[in-house]
Copies of this chain bind each other. A is one copy, B any other.
Amino acid sequence: MKSYHMDWDEFRTAGKELIDWIADYHEQIESRPVKSQVRPGDIHAALPNDPPETGEQWPVILKDVERHILPGVTHWQSPNFFAFFPANTSGPSILGELLSAGLAVQGMLWETSPACTELETHVLDWLVGMLGLPDRFRGNGVIQDSASSASLCAILAARERAIGDLPAGDYHEAFGRLRAYATSQTHSSVEKGARIAGLNVEQIRRIDVDENYAMIPESLAEAIRADRKAGYIPFFVCATVGTTSSTAIDPVERIAEQCAGDRPPWLHVDAALAGTAAVCEEFRALQRGVERADSYCFNPHKWMFTNFDCDCFYVADRGALLKALSILPEYLRNRATESDSVIDYRDWQIPLGRRFRALKLWFVIRHYGVEGIRYHVRRHVELARSFADWVRSDDEFELLTEPSLNLVCFRHRDGDRKTEAIEHAVNDSGRAYLTHTKLGERYTLRLSVGQTSTEYEHVERVWRLLKEAAAAV
């Protein structure tokens, strides 16, 4: 009788072929245009309208990946990828994701796979030490899919702490008086998270930034004071260590000082990209004051060779978070939960189910060792500084800010249109990919150096490409 399942011998053959395919892909990745050159609808048009009634053979499927999918892939793992922030990965991380898929356990409760929970807490404790984070984060870390979800969880915990104990009749009146504080440079997920949590855009105060696009603590203090006086409830402050536009560094310590006092707002520190840099002693000062944060996150899936999704989120005190997100229906009750001696991570996140994501992070840290991660972070910062030097001494291009880490913001002196034309020329060439932002209304190119395999030659080459494009457009 036909079983339809892929038997495990067939899996062995197909899996090994796919391992080779992936290795080949990475070894040859520079032969492909970094940014996919397809037009909207191309991929869709190449695929059959209906699913197959009868199963197909693996070699046919893999061939279609090559033929129909790859042309539509933008190669995030190319060493010539300088766009957005990196979402880098590495061999040990891919193996971790493979093992997670192979075991295919659910980590929603400690009980549903104890190792999935305990390894996660354990590895996140390792990171507390590796990054010089405060001891009160120990035992209070969890992997989220993204910094967006971490921000949302922080906002929900903050909302809970501020108004969660009010009776239902007073809740929405107080809700309308909540005020959150961020800057124009804060990641968009904070506004999105606040809206999801039920706030109006008007309830998010935009605090002024200085000439380096960092929050001005005195302006925050003033806004909180004025809002309290007007009867509002300051409940949430987001400080960013390494903004998305320009890696600006909000001064966490001085911001924390403004939050202190009676009924302080919840201080969340978003270090999605830059947090990894704290593995090097010399960059830890960037997040000085983090020991006073109520919550903190950074993304190993950005700059720690661990593939998406892997955001590490810590809280100083888990009480408000759990109160905001806990719910225990009968079908999830079990002896371990009731013994109160375990963590059930379903209460620390938006979804119920969760994959075994700690494996990839564990593999990466063990494979590289702390010194290996440190080495590559330093190397990326050096490469970005070299690039910034070339821009600084160039007569066509100029820097928009001094790079704090591995991101360089620059533009052509002829202005926005020229700068944008250069961006498109480079990206359309397929030889490198970089994206833009606006700083002080000026169209600004961003060169983000963080891909696993990016080396000096790639940075030098994209600089030549930019110069050629400037001459041509």
Contacts and interface: CB of A to CB of B under 8 A. Distances in A.
A39 B333 CA distance: 17
Interface in A79-98: 84, 87-95, 97-98
Interface in A364-388: 365-373, 375-376
A187 B44 CA distance: 35
A162 interface: no
Contacts of A90: 5-6
- What number of copies of this chain does the assembly contain? 2
A167 to B, nearest CB: 9
A352 B145 CA distance: 10
A47 B122 contact: yes
A316 interface: no
Given A94-B102, A330-B245, A195 B22 contact: no
B91 A101 contact: no
A121 interface: yes
A435 B116 CA distance: 19
A421 interface: no
A138 to B, nearest CB: 11
Interface stretch (A107-115, A215-223, A283-291, A460-468): A107-115
Contacts of A145: 145, 351, 353
B43 A436 contact: no
Contacts of A324: 195-196
Given A19-B12, A188-B327, A40 B114 contact: yes
Given A90-B5, A331-B446, A118 B43 contact: yes
A260 interface: no
Interface residues of A, number: 157
A328 B189 CA distance: 10
A140 interface: no
Contacts of A92: 6, 58, 61
Contact of A149 (B350, B355, B367): B350
Contacts of A206: none
A55 interface: yes
A40 B129 CA distance: 23
Nearest to A198: B198
A334 to B, nearest CB: 8
A16 interface: yes
A176 B172 CA distance: 6
A3 B374 CA distance: 12
Contacts of A336: 40
